[in-house]
Amino acid sequence: MFGQVDLFIDYLAVERNSSPNTRLGYARDLSQFYAFLKSEPRCLGPGGEVDIERIDEPAVSGFIYALFRSNKKITIARKLSSIRSFFRFLVKKGLAKANPAECVSAPRVERFLPTVLTVEEAKSLIEAPGSALEGRDESPSILRDLAILEVLYSSGIRVSELTGLDAGSVDIEAGTIRVLGKGNKERIAYLGDHAKESLRLYMDRERPSGGGPLFIGGKGGQGGGNKQRRLTPRTVQRLVKKYTATSGINKTPTPHSLRHTFATHLLDAGVDLRSIQELLGHSKLSTTQRYTKVGVKAMMEAYDAAHPRARSKKQGESF
């Protein structure tokens, strides 16, 4: 089976132009599925290897059932989707007769509105590193952290896009950054005055001159030696959590929350969805339309709080 998985991953890279992270996700899901099948005698051929033609619907259902013990529904649904895509590829290439995952039901995934900050909450979070500076925190990462938060909120880019930025991707004077998004698609994102100033301070005072990663951590990392290490998305997640705690916000935002907040604030200010779609780098408008739900929710909350006839008498109707 591993040979077919390798062919599928190559197909994703060459024909679908999928990102490395997407390919890695498929590979992990299919490796876990393979490990499960190794314990299913009916799926094994001569020599004890998994035989693609022996994988049936009950085998896929058994794998999905086993996942419920320690996985969230959204994770299970993604793994089932990976298996379906894998077998669709095999059927298309004539390497399998049928797709045993096609009729397996995915768990119903609850849809939650993303965490979105108000303008004041976003301001408090982004200015938290500045408060640390005023408090004489001598950590050399303060200006870097401030620049990261400003860029995330100002441009709306994904955290993976932020950590993938190189110094040469930024034109501070023009207020633009070249971003390599999903599917290796390049686009231009924009920076406001606060983000430009924060980046300028970081690059002038903290970051060594020259090329390489824009946002760096300690020495070592990939390649070892004295190379400056590119920050990981996990590091950015930790710093958002850190400054959320010091800002007094009663929410749990993530780096992706700043992307949602960016889009929601533009929507609330009257920017049309097509423009927001371009700024976010979405290939489909339907993906961008998720942000309208946040705007509608905020409007309904404002309506309920303000209109004298919005709520019933049991909830405190005034007349």
- 158 noted as active-site residue: yes
CA-to-CA dists, residue 302 to 85, 118, 297, angstroms: 43, 13, 9
- Is 291 an annotated catalytic residue? yes
* Helices within 111-232 (DSSP H only): 119-126, 128-134, 142-155, 159-163, 193-205
Query: Can 88 be counted among the known catalytic residues?
Result: no
Give me the catalytic one of 78, 178, 242, 256. 256
- One-letter amino acid at 161 equals E
The amino acid occupying position 6 is: D
Residue 35 burial (CB count, 10 A): 11
Tell which residue, 111, 118, 216, has the closest CA to residue 162. 216
Q: Considering the candidates 79, 84, 144, 158, report the single residue annotated as catalytic.
A: 158
Q: State the CB neighbour count (10 A cutoff) for residue 305.
A: 9
Main-chain phi, psi angles of 179, to 5 degrees: -115, 135
311 is catalytic: no
256 is catalytic: yes
Using DSSP, state whether 310 is helix, strand or coil: coil
Question: The tokens of 157 are what?
Answer: 């880019």
Question: Rounded distance, CA 189 to CA 179, Å?
Answer: 7
Catalytic one of 26, 202, 243, 291 = 291
The answer to whether 307 is a known catalytic residue is: no
Selecting among 182, 187, 194, 200, the annotated active-site residue is 182
Q: Which of 144, 259, 260, 265 is catalytic?
A: 259
Q: Of 79, 196, 230, 282, which one is the catalytic site residue? A: 282
Q: Do the strands 186-190 and 216-219 form a parallel or antiparallel pair, or are they unpaired?
A: unpaired
Half-sphere exposure (Cβ direction) of 75: Cα atoms closer than 13 Å: 12
Please identify every residue annotated as catalytic: 158, 182, 256, 259, 282, 291
